[in-house]
């Protein structure tokens, strides 16, 4: 047998681990500061998920994209387009809403697929390709309608309102809704894909070295196009969840969502340079984001724009930490090399 698993943490786990630690630290601090006002209740904990599940779904897809060394700026626009299509086709054109759910999911995946093709076949950098996708999807929203359309469809309404009560001792009842279940399902799918499928393992290899992956004979085209198609699908799911939250379709929905998603993924320990990252880390990235929002609302006197500042500071911290771990890893390698001499 080969060497035993040693008790030492591989440097690549550190960013994701620190995200987890940071989440619990932030949660504990919230408990100390606002515990008397119900920060630690199950209800508050549940809302960490319910309020931002759509971001979480998008973050899972984005994690795959960033691990592959790419970026996807189109997620907010594609999600907005999803809300718009769903609202317009069910409310104005009276299409079947179950059918429309399938249509928007396919549309999201198709848009992602096309962006993936653009990236792989024509060698257009992801930043540009998805910027094109972002403008296209946002533009399409307003071609469909420049107004906000309220969703009254009974199926969509009931799906959006469906929730189950969590057993809790406190007086305040805690609920989780369909968004949370969807998020968990997508998260599990993300974990399984990345950990246990050739496609997922190929994404890691691709992110670690594109040229190498090609020389190793990996199906890089299928991998790259697949990643963006999957992320397009996730954007559509996020859009559906968001429309369950607001019961409306509007071209101005979710402006700048891509930035919240990307920053959560990075805070969750995925290296922007690609090759390293875990969907579970992104879960904690989203949770940290949610906890910051909770801090602001519990404080009551802070402007909600402090969220952006806090996220900015955290991003700075995590980016610096990523650089430091890379430098440390290199130093370790050099020392090993010298010892070998």
Part in contact with another protein (CB under 8 A); list of ranges 36-44, 171-179, 316-324, 327-335: 327-335
Part in contact with another protein (CB under 8 A); list of ranges 101-109, 129-137, 202-210, 295-303: 202-210
Considering only 198, 252, 323, 331, the residue that binds another protein (CB under 8 A) is: 198
Instruction: Establish if 43 lies at the interface with another protein (CB under 8 A).
Output: no
Instruction: Establish if 163 lies at the interface with another protein (CB under 8 A).
Output: no
Instruction: Establish if 221 lies at the interface with another protein (CB under 8 A).
Output: no
238 close to 75: Cβ distance less than 8 angstroms? yes
- Judged by beta carbon, residue 36 or residue 339, the one nearer another protein is 339
Instruction: Establish if 38 lies at the interface with another protein (CB under 8 A).
Output: no
Instruction: Establish if 218 lies at the interface with another protein (CB under 8 A).
Output: yes
Instruction: Establish if 336 lies at the interface with another protein (CB under 8 A).
Output: yes
Total residues found in the chain within this entry = 341
Instruction: Establish if 341 lies at the interface with another protein (CB under 8 A).
Output: yes
Instruction: Establish if 285 lies at the interface with another protein (CB under 8 A).
Output: no
Instruction: Establish if 209 lies at the interface with another protein (CB under 8 A).
Output: yes
300 close to 276: Cβ distance less than 8 angstroms? no
Q: How far is the CB of 69 from another protein (least distance, A)?
A: 10
Instruction: Establish if 211 lies at the interface with another protein (CB under 8 A).
Output: yes
Part in contact with another protein (CB under 8 A); list of ranges 44-52, 169-177, 198-206, 280-288: 198-206
Instruction: Establish if 10 lies at the interface with another protein (CB under 8 A).
Output: yes
In angstroms, rounded to a whole number, what is the distance separating the alpha carbons of residues 232 and 220?
A: 18
Would you tell me how many other CB atoms lie within 10 Å of the CB of residue 313?
A: 11
Instruction: Establish if 280 lies at the interface with another protein (CB under 8 A).
Output: no
By rule CB under 8 A, what count of residues binds another protein? Answer: 37
- The residue assigned the tokens 């928007």 is 104
Part in contact with another protein (CB under 8 A); list of ranges 150-158, 301-309, 317-325, 331-339: 331-339
Instruction: Establish if 2 lies at the interface with another protein (CB under 8 A).
Output: yes
Do strands 248-249 and 174-177 pair parallel, antiparallel, or not at all (unpaired)? unpaired
Considering only 26, 276, 291, 314, the residue that binds another protein (CB under 8 A) is: 276
Instruction: Establish if 215 lies at the interface with another protein (CB under 8 A).
Output: yes
CA 141 to each of CA 54, 178, 188, 254, 315: distance values in angstroms, whole numbers, following the listed order: 19, 25, 31, 12, 31
The residues that touch another protein, with contacts defined as CB under 8 A, are 1-6, 10, 12, 192, 195-198, 201-202, 204-205, 207-209, 211-213, 215-219, 275-276, 329, 332-333, 336-337, 340-341
């Amino acid at each position: 047998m080969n060497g035993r698993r040693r008790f030492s943490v591989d440097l690549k786990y550190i960013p994701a681990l620190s995200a987890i630690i940071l989440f619990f630290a932030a949660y504990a601090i919230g408990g100390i500061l606002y515990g008397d006002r119900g920060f630690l209740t199950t209800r508050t904990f549940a809302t960490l998920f319910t309020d931002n599940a759509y971001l979480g779904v998008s973050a899972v897809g984005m994690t795959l994209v960033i691990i592959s060394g790419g970026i996807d700026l189109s997620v907010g626009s594609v999600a907005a387009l999803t809300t718009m299509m769903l609202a317009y086709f069910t409310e104005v054109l009276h299409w079947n809403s179950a059918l429309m759910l399938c249509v928007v999911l396919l549309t999201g995946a198709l848009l992602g697929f096309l962006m993936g093709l653009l990236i792989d076949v024509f060698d257009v950098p992801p930043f540009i390709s998805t910027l094109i996708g972002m403008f296209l999807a946002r533009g399409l929203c307003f071609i469909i309608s420049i107004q906000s359309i309220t969703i009254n469809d009974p199926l969509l309404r009931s799906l959006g309102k469906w929730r189950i009560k969590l057993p809790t001792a406190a007086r305040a009842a805690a609920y989780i809704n369909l968004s949370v279940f969807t998020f968990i399902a997508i998260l599990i799918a993300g974990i399984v894909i990345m950990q246990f499928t050739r496609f997922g393992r190929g994404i890691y290899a691709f992110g670690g070295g594109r040229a190498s992956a090609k020389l190793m004979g990996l199906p890089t085209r299928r991998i790259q196009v697949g990643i963006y198609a999957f992320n397009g699908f996730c954007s559509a799911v996020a859009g559906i969840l968001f429309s369950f939250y607001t019961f409306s379709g509007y071209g101005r929905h979710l402006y700048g969502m891509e930035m919240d998603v990307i920053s959560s993924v990075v805070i969750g320990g995925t290296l922007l340079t690609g090759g390293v990252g875990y969907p579970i880390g992104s879960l904690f990235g989203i949770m940290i984001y949610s906890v910051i929002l909770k801090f602001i609302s519990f404080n009551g006197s802070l402007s909600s724009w402090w969220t952006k500042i806090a996220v900015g500071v955290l991003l700075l911290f995590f980016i610096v930490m990523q650089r430091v771990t890379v430098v440390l890893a290199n130093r370790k390698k050099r020392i090993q090399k010298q010892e070998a001499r």
